[in-house]
A and B are shown apart, each in its own frame.
Chain A
């Protein structure tokens, strides 16, 4: 197929097939296309009209935590107001251009100091938002450089607190934090490469303590090593301010799983501790009388003789005579 050509004017609407002019552009478009199993989500980090020192530090820290799958904008964006109906167009445009479905937007004002808005997009439209106040943040503590976690390693998560289950906003925040920091979904994992932990504790009904720790696996007697956490990296206190849950219909559409990916349950198979794997086979009743044989039974000769001797009117045992039609010459 030619790359970009004018279709022959057979149809009255002249259509042109637009394909990218270089293979590299083609590959980029393929990467961004919707897929059954998706790529990892990318994050866009940006800030609004005014930021404070604390907020700047927090944004850079988050960028460093997610270095390989995030984009950080350094200019200020005056016209982005995530919670207002008109202020999201710029965000959606950036999300489209950078192919980022998560964003972290920082802003500082008198009414809402040190405000962080963490949001997600679906199909490059705003899906949901959580606005948190970054109450206190501490960047780096002194730690041994050897145990510093590498970029891109899959993190462990620990959520502590009943608030994460009972309070609506904290439940939402838990989901968003999980989405933000979990990295790519992998099917096979190298156990030697595990080195970071995110600990989130719900201290009260609206305050969450967020810590990033490095993981050390120590020898223990069994195959399972002993786990040791060392605090490394940013630790912040979040106070949830406002949040917006997704639209019901949008949520339903976004949570759809492709029918090909749903694992079908194997029928008639069960596992038992004693006997192992058991399968059930259902055998239908055998119809002996109606079974089809390779030959058509005409009737045993003796039975036929007896029937004839009895003189019964058994038409089935009589031989069918050939009908001689008049054959015209």
Chain B
């Protein structure tokens, strides 16, 4: 422990930085040519460096293969840090408990002797000691209830333990982040914001929903969204702005009577509302029977393992008969 900053012939020497500073030198006359100036500077610099080297080589050194090694004192010129000082992290829940109880941390071995196989097995990982999944038989105790599956119970207990551990982990991280001492590789990110009032966490909104909402917002302007500029990627509005559909005055050929279709549609709607015979019992019974026959056939087919090519394929394009009310000719 000596002075790091020594005065050697008027120079200030900082050994930690290998620096020598001559504060008393004055250039009485600046030499004209740059080369002379440089030479003078170098000559003077040599003197300073010699002083530093004197101090440096006089330090106690240890011999090494590559050369003498000297332990430098810490630098005396203070320079600013580049990052703020790290804050000490608060003790975790377990650490507080362990300190209170006086529990010491014991180092565990990687290999553990397994009594069953009388061999050394690893503690964690593949083919480990006391693996929960390897237990073939669990003996029943007097306290066991008859209907409870002990294996499932063990699994659920383990899951509970894991969840509790994660909750504690998160709590510790939150405590650390409150102080500002979060470990450098961890970031806590909020995935959703809370809703005050209801206790349900809001679910994530899907793309279609967002598009719908955007469309609704657009049409809720004073001019009905007619003059809004559409951004790239925005779908055109679903509703065609026209809410009333008028039939053409003169019907073109080859379209089928539109007016007849329109009035038919309205009539059917009215009739089906007020008709009592909405359910065609016969047709329903036939459909049910056909369905159950098909099912029976499928099951037999599976057990006799016919090739799939011979099976009747369910074509998705064929229209299947659905339970609709047939109003052909039925009227009350």
Binding site for B on A (CB under 8 A): 1-2, 5-10, 12-20, 26, 29-30, 32-36, 38, 41, 101, 120-123, 127, 136, 154-162, 164-165, 174-175, 178-179, 182, 185-194, 197, 199, 201, 203-204, 209, 211, 213, 215, 217, 223-229, 231, 235, 246, 251, 253-258
Contacts and interface: CB of A to CB of B under 8 A. Distances in A.
B46 A16 contact: no
Interface in B182-203: 183-195, 199, 201
Contacts of B256: none
Nearest to A266: B1
Contacts of A13: 190, 192-194
A193 B53 contact: no
A281 B101 CA distance: 38
A158 B20 contact: yes
Which of A36, A159, A213, A226 gathers the greatest number of chain B CB atoms within 10 Å?
A: A159
27 contacts: A14-B192, A14-B201, A15-B174, A16-B190, A17-B173, A17-B187, A34-B83, A34-B85, A122-B80, A122-B82, A156-B18, A158-B20, A160-B45, A161-B23, A162-B23, A185-B16, A185-B74, A188-B70, A189-B70, A193-B66, A199-B42, A211-B41, A213-B45, A227-B49, A251-B80, A255-B78, A256-B85
Interface in B153-208: 163, 166-167, 169-170, 173-174, 183-195, 199, 201
B84 interface: yes
Given A15-B188, A162-B23, A209-B41, A192 B66 contact: yes
B189 A34 contact: no
B185 A30 contact: yes
B19 A18 contact: no
Nearest to A210: B41
Nearest to B18: A156
B250 interface: no
A255 B69 contact: no
B67 A191 contact: yes
B188 A17 contact: yes
B169 A186 contact: no
A158 B49 contact: yes
A104 B67 CA distance: 35
Interface string B82-99: 111110000000000000
4 closest cross-chain pairs (CB), A and B: A192-B67, A33-B184, A101-B82, A254-B80
Nearest to B53: A227
B50 A226 contact: yes
Contacts, number: 229
Contacts of A38: 81-83
A209 B37 contact: yes
Interface stretch (B55-63, B113-121, B287-295): B55-63
B58 A223 contact: yes
Contact of B80 (A14, A156, A246): A246
A127 B66 CA distance: 40
Contacts of B18: 154-157, 194
A18 B49 CA distance: 52
Contacts of A161: 22-23, 25-27
A121 to B, nearest CB: 7
Given A160-B41, A209-B41, A26 B185 contact: yes
A15 to B, nearest CB: 5
A157 to B, nearest CB: 4
Given A34-B184, A188-B71, A189-B71, 14 more contacts: A15-B170, A17-B173, A19-B185, A29-B185, A156-B18, A157-B17, A182-B17, A188-B70, A190-B66, A192-B66, A194-B18, A204-B27, A224-B57, A254-B81
